Amino acid sequence: MFPINFEWIWDVGHMVFHGGLWYALGIIGAGMTYCIGKAVWDTMQGKGGHHH
């Protein structure tokens, strides 16, 4: 649920629960975005193509 939804109430419960959820999802999303983006960049730079 987001604060823009009609069920949202600005109380401690909503802020703590949903704040924690979006905080965790934010870290996971940002981390994966960084990993995938850097992998695309590295691949374009020709890294990771030589294995023995």
Residues interacting with other proteins, by CB under 8 A?
1, 5, 7, 11, 13-14, 16-18, 20-21, 24-25, 27-28, 31-32, 34-36, 38-40, 42-43, 46-49, 51
In whole angstroms, how close is the CB of 38 to other proteins at the nearest point?
5
Which of these, 10, 14, 34, lies nearest to 22 by C-alpha position? 14
Return all residues near 32 (Cβ < 8 A) that are at least 6 apart: none
Q: How far apart are CA 35 and CA 37, in angstroms?
A: 6
In whole angstroms, how close is the CB of 51 to other proteins at the nearest point?
6
Length of the chain: 52
In whole angstroms, how close is the CB of 39 to other proteins at the nearest point?
4
